[in-house]
A and B are shown apart, each in its own frame.
Chain A
Amino acid sequence: MSNDDRRNFEKAVRAAVPKYSETPTKGGLESLVTFGAEAVAVETSPLAVARNRNAPPAERAAALHALAPRQRNDEEFVQLLLKLAGDSSEPPELRSGVLRILRQLRFSSVLLNQKRAQLIETLRPIIDDPDPTLRQDALEMLAQEKDEYVQRRLLESLTGQAPLPAALEKTVQLLGYDIHAEHFPVLRDIAKNAPTATARREAVRLLASDPQSIQLLREIFHDKNEDQEVRRASANGYLSLDPAGFEQEAKKIVLDPAEDGDVRAASLSALTHFAHPSTRDEELNGYVEALGKRDLPKPLEDAVRTYNRRQSS
């Protein structure tokens, strides 16, 4: 299921929810209902529709959505959701929709939160599901729960011991839910050697928590051959781990007309909002004030204007 497919599915679900919002939770045969081109006599209570394997997945998911606000602490309802999510014979779009309802219930259902163990047990097999959207949903939900098993699986895939369960970039990103995972050595490797800038950027984001990576972050920040998104991500981490060192390096970058405009602007933005006042010295102030009189690329122009306005206020 692609992102567009999921989006269209959720739109269809949303459109169908009002149909089930006022109908009784349970009930017997009520009327003829048209599903597509076929009119069939079916039970139309939302629970019945949700259980009906012949009903379109969007209708079933809509019925469950309609039930969720009032049935959020109902044992039968929650068990149905867990069953549907874990049933590999059900359509993947329905299961994806059900996972979304389970996420919604994490916000409002006392009962579901008491069944965290059962939820985790349901999600773990889904990380091996053939459908990539389901896999990614389950991976992310388990990573949010800081599940030890999924952290192990993510790291094994990043160290080549197993296939990646999701895109490299996403796999790296999911590790970020729990700093205690033992991922820094492999992240340093990805930050230096990953084939895509996005993957390198994701690794650099997480290295912002590793004091042993300060030197690497500094190098990336200065590397004019590196993608500007990766450099800006490294600026963030460098600023967190070594604010004083970052400020001096950022100042040099701002003063260097040969530098990338976005990196200069991002550096100046950091100095404007977070730097120690002593870093915003006469040299920097004068240079930036003079910069304000030139034609500049928009991001840098905005950054210069913000800096000068702050200094004068």
Chain B
Amino acid sequence: MNAADAAHFDASTREEDLASWVASCPRAHVPRAALVTLLPEQHRLYAGRSTNETARIRGFILAAFERVGLPEAALPYVLDELQNGNDAYLVAAAAKALRGADAPADVAFAAAFLHTARENIRYADAPVTFDVYKPSRPVERSTTAADEIRKTIEWIGEVDCCAVPASSRPSRRTLRVESLELEDQDGRHVRFGEFFSGKPSVVVFFYSRCDNVRKCSLTVTKLAALQRELTARGLDGRVRLTGITYDPHFDLPPRMKSYGLARGVEFGENVRFFRALECFDDLRSAFDLGVNYIGAIVNRHRIELYVLDPRGRIARSFTHLTWSERDVAAEIERLLRGRPWQNAARAAMASLASILIALLPKCPLCLGAYASALGLSGLQIVPHRTWLLPAALILVLAHLVTMGRRAMRTSRFAPLGASAAGTLVLMAGSVVWSMPALSFAGAALMIAGAAMNATPYFDVTNALRSMRRAYTRFVARSHLAWPPSR
């Protein structure tokens, strides 16, 4: 098995060959990372394959994680199947995949998803097997989705936790499809750039002949609920809500309209469904949609919702898992509170203020430390003033309050933590023990916290994940030999 092979799999790969390759993957980091690269719905591997073949391949890959280990990057796909899946083979595979985690506690958060899957599949279960790929006859020994779910629930055991990983991601992706022509549910034509500008927009993707109620039908139903939520918040008219069909040749305007009306959508100037008849591929590429086709028929897709800023750029995407109207509405409100440059300017000003406060000398020793650090040997030492320490403490407190308020707004507490720690260390070094080195360390921490605060779109966790993904991709493609499996 060569992990680099994953990069070559495409629409022409025989599914049996792919299955053999998957079956040969050992339990090691690189192979599991390579398997993950095959899971995005839009991967060329699935182009032109039937829905059944696509499901077989994906299920076999998911099930393989039980053996090779479950990478974190596979979780969105696993959780998607458990929450939304209606195919017993895929749901069983997803349940098995969770058992590939290093320890049950690592996937304890998935317990709720397993319970949901158990309810979903209760009346839609089927006998499946992962012992043989694409069995040619009914097999003697098989399992079911319910069995696999039960095994995983038992493996995880009793849990009392946990926060579910977020299914949304911020973005600043520019779409570059301004000239793309769209036709709406009433047969009116408009260009993408013309419609998606001036106001924030919500874009969901759907198609009327989707047979998974938990995907397209629920997505459009929730879009209607979002419409009501925004109206209740007084925001209707300030935001656009749209659905775009994956199936433009079949979803003629009357069909789109009927589909939306049946699910409670109230169409209007700012609430429209579209099809992109001529250049759907451009749209698909611009959004990097999680969909694939056999001919004109969708063979696989994910749940996806995009919030666009007033300039038509993707501000946040919600994919794979069911999104909440409240979260989307909150994102809309965030966009409506100010233009991005205003937000950035505000953040920068707040951060600059924090930095200045952090840098302000708060005691005579700090002054001395700065002076020597700057090499200003001729600088007169500022005489000590009795008001200096209380004033410094007030400024430090103001600094922490500023950081704290920003943390509550952005849910990012790392900058606050750094500043608070820096404050304690600075006080210890300046007031308690008179250690300049400690004071410098504290000041440095405070400055670091302020610097982190000054970069509004910097998400440490996602940055680390992105780095890890890039690393694994690099490794998978690098033709390096790997240690033998354990």
* Closest chain B CB from A294 CB (angstroms): 35
Which of A24-32, A116-124, A197-205 forms part of the interface with chain B?
A116-124
A104 within 8 A of B: no
B144 within 8 A of A: yes
Instruction: Select from chain B the residue with minimum beta-carbon distance to A128.
Output: B137
Q: Which of B135, B144, B249 contacts A211 (CB 8 A)?
A: B249
A298 within 8 A of B: no
A210 within 8 A of B: yes
B231 within 8 A of A: no
Contact yes or no, A147 B126, CB < 8 A: yes
Contact yes or no, B250 A117, CB < 8 A: no
Q: Which of A116, A180, A243 contacts B126 (CB 8 A)?
A: A116
B residues 197-211 touching A (CB-CB < 8 Å):
209, 211
Contact yes or no, A121 B127, CB < 8 A: yes
Contact yes or no, B296 A212, CB < 8 A: yes
Contact yes or no, B297 A179, CB < 8 A: yes
B146 cross-chain contacts in A, Cβ below 8 A: 117
Contact yes or no, B126 A114, CB < 8 A: no
* Closest chain A CB from B138 CB (angstroms): 4
* Closest chain B CB from A149 CB (angstroms): 7
A212 cross-chain contacts in B, Cβ below 8 A: 295-296
Contact yes or no, A180 B52, CB < 8 A: yes
Contact yes or no, B294 A182, CB < 8 A: yes
A152 cross-chain contacts in B, Cβ below 8 A: 52, 134
B124 cross-chain contacts in A, Cβ below 8 A: 116
Contact yes or no, B295 A148, CB < 8 A: no
CB-CB under 8 A for A125 and B138, given A117-B125, A117-B144, A148-B89: yes
Interface centre among A121, A124, A149, A181 (most CB of B within 10 A): A149
B294 cross-chain contacts in A, Cβ below 8 A: 182
Q: Which of A114, A178, A179 contacts B123 (CB 8 A)?
A: A114
Instruction: Select from chain A the residue with minimum beta-carbon distance to B52.
Output: A148
B249 cross-chain contacts in A, Cβ below 8 A: 211, 241
A77 within 8 A of B: no
Determine the distance from Cα of A147 to Cα of B88 in the docked complex, in whole angstroms.
Answer: 10
Contact yes or no, B296 A211, CB < 8 A: yes
B299 cross-chain contacts in A, Cβ below 8 A: 180
A residues 107-121 touching B (CB-CB < 8 Å):
113-114, 116-118, 120-121
Contact yes or no, B123 A209, CB < 8 A: no
Determine the distance from Cα of A148 to Cα of B124 in the docked complex, in whole angstroms.
Answer: 13
Contact yes or no, B52 A241, CB < 8 A: no
Contact yes or no, B250 A124, CB < 8 A: no
Contact yes or no, B51 A180, CB < 8 A: yes
A180 cross-chain contacts in B, Cβ below 8 A: 50-52, 211, 297, 299
Classify the secondary structure of B's interface with A. Answer: loop
B358 within 8 A of A: no
Count class of interface residues, chain A: 20 to 34
Contact yes or no, A209 B125, CB < 8 A: no
B52 cross-chain contacts in A, Cβ below 8 A: 148, 151-152, 180-182
Contact yes or no, B126 A117, CB < 8 A: yes
Contact mask for chain A residues 162-192; partner B; CB cutoff 8 A; 1 contact, 0 none? 0000000000000000111110100000000
Contact mask for chain B residues 30-72; partner A; CB cutoff 8 A; 1 contact, 0 none? 0000000000000000000111110110000000000000000
Determine the distance from Cα of A278 to Cα of B316 in the docked complex, in whole angstroms.
Answer: 44
Contact mask for chain B residues 102-145; partner A; CB cutoff 8 A; 1 contact, 0 none? 00000000000000000000111111000000110010001010
Instruction: Select from chain B the residue with minimum beta-carbon distance to A121.
Output: B127
Contact yes or no, B127 A117, CB < 8 A: yes
Determine the distance from Cα of A213 to Cα of B250 in the docked complex, in whole angstroms.
Answer: 11
Determine the distance from Cα of A164 to Cα of B56 in the docked complex, in whole angstroms.
Answer: 24
* Closest chain A CB from B188 CB (angstroms): 16
Determine the distance from Cα of A121 to Cα of B125 in the docked complex, in whole angstroms.
Answer: 11
A184 cross-chain contacts in B, Cβ below 8 A: 295, 297
* Closest chain B CB from A159 CB (angstroms): 13
B355 within 8 A of A: no
Q: Which of A114, A116, A182, A241 contacts B50 (CB 8 A)?
A: A182
Determine the distance from Cα of A211 to Cα of B297 in the docked complex, in whole angstroms.
Answer: 9
B400 within 8 A of A: no
Determine the distance from Cα of A209 to Cα of B255 in the docked complex, in whole angstroms.
Answer: 13
Q: Which of A114, A120, A178, A211 contacts B127 (CB 8 A)?
A: A120
B123 cross-chain contacts in A, Cβ below 8 A: 113-114, 116
* Closest chain B CB from A218 CB (angstroms): 15
Contact mask for chain B residues 391-408; partner A; CB cutoff 8 A; 1 contact, 0 none? 000000000000000000
Contact yes or no, B295 A210, CB < 8 A: yes
* Closest chain A CB from B297 CB (angstroms): 7
* Closest chain A CB from B388 CB (angstroms): 75
Determine the distance from Cα of A179 to Cα of B50 in the docked complex, in whole angstroms.
Answer: 10
Determine the distance from Cα of A117 to Cα of B211 in the docked complex, in whole angstroms.
Answer: 20
A117 cross-chain contacts in B, Cβ below 8 A: 88, 125-127, 144, 146
* Closest chain A CB from B41 CB (angstroms): 15
Question: Which 5 A-B residue pairings sit nearest by Cβ, starting from the closest?
Answer: A182-B50, A211-B249, A180-B51, A124-B138, A117-B125
Q: B interface vs A, CB < 8 Å?
A: 49-53, 55-56, 88-89, 122-127, 134-135, 138, 142, 144, 146, 209, 211, 249-250, 252, 294-297, 299
Known A117-B144, A184-B297, A210-B297; 11 more pairs at CB < 8 Å: A114-B122, A116-B123, A118-B127, A121-B142, A145-B126, A149-B138, A151-B52, A180-B50, A181-B51, A182-B52, A211-B250
